[in-house]
A and B are shown apart, each in its own frame.
Chain A
Amino acid sequence: NAGVMQNPRHLVRRRGQEARLRCSPVKGHSHVYWYRQLPEEGLKFMVYLQKENIIDESGMPKERFSAEFPKEGPSILRIQQVVRGDSAAYFCASSPAYREETQYFGPGTRLLVL
C-alpha cells in the first residue's frame, strides 16, 4: 500500500510568489492534517480537513494561507505572497476514520523562500 505522498519534495520560491503543496493521503483515509516544522522546532499543527470540509484551522496563519481537500484529488496547502519566514518543512498526515487514531505522515515538502 502506498503511504502518504507529498509533492513537490523541495520547492523554491521568491518573495511574493505563490506556493502550492500537494498531499495524497493513504488510500481509504478521509482525514488529512497539515503541520509545519520550523528549524529546531517540533511540528506545529496547522489545519485538519475531511473531504470538502475544513474541520479545524486553529493553527493556520489568518492571512495568505489556505487549505482544501476536494472530493476528488489531493489536498492542497496554498501559501500566497510567500515571505522568508514561510521557509519550513510542511508535513501532511492522514488517518482512517477519526481524529484520535494514528496519523501517518508523508515525507514533507521543504519550502525555501529566497
Chain B
Amino acid sequence: AQSVSQHNHHVILSEAASLELGCNYSYGGTVNLFWYVQYPGQHLQLLLKYFSGDPLVKGIKGFEAEFIKSKFSFNLRKPSVQWSDTAEYFCAVIRGGGADGLTFGKGTHLIIQP
C-alpha cells in the first residue's frame, strides 16, 4: 500500500523566514500530487497540485513545490512566510489507474511568530 510521509509535524518560524516542508511518497507508478492547507477554523483548501509537465509548480499565496521523481518527493516551499500562513499543511497523493482516494500525510502544523 502506498504511504505519504511528512517529515515535520510541528514547525515554528518567524515572519519573513523561508519555509520548506518535506513530503515523500512510496508508490512507484504514476501519481498526481497535492498540497492542501487548513487554516484555523476552516476546511481544507488546495494550495497547489502536480499532474504532469514542469516539475516546479506554483500555487496560491506565493507557495511552490517541486516534484523530484527520483526521490519520490514533493516538497513545499515559500521564500518568505507571513503570520497568516499559520495553518496545518497536508501532502496528498493519488495513484493513477487505481480506484481509491487520496493518501494523505499526517500533516505539518506551521506556526508563524510575528
Chain A positions within 8 Å of B, measured between CB atoms, are 33, 35, 40-46, 48, 55-56, 58-59, 91, 93, 99-100, 102-108
Interface size band for B: 20 to 34
- With A100-B94, A105-B44 already in contact, the answer to whether A42 and B105 are too (CB < 8 A) is yes
- With A40-B106, A99-B94, A102-B34 already in contact, the answer to whether A33 and B44 are too (CB < 8 A) is no
Chain B positions within 8 Å of A, measured between CB atoms, are 4, 6, 32, 34, 36, 42-46, 49, 51, 90, 92, 94, 96, 98-107
Are B99 and A33 in contact, with the CB atoms below 8 A? no
Question: In the assembly, what is the distance between CA of A100 and CA of B45, in Å?
Answer: 17
Are B32 and A42 in contact, with the CB atoms below 8 A? no
Question: In the assembly, what is the distance between CA of A104 and CA of B102, in Å?
Answer: 12
List 24 contacting pairs A-B, 8 Å CB cutoff, sorted by A.
A35-B102, A40-B106, A42-B104, A42-B105, A43-B90, A43-B92, A45-B103, A46-B101, A48-B100, A56-B98, A56-B99, A56-B101, A58-B99, A58-B100, A91-B43, A93-B101, A93-B102, A99-B99, A99-B101, A102-B34, A103-B101, A105-B43, A105-B44, A107-B43
Cβ 8 A contact of A42, one of B42, B46, B101, B106? B106
Cβ 8 A contact of B101, one of A45, A102, A107, A108? A45
Are A59 and B101 in contact, with the CB atoms below 8 A? yes
Chain A min CB distance to B32 (Å):
5
Are B102 and A33 in contact, with the CB atoms below 8 A? yes
In the bound complex, residues from chain A placing their C-beta under 8 Å from that of B45 are 105
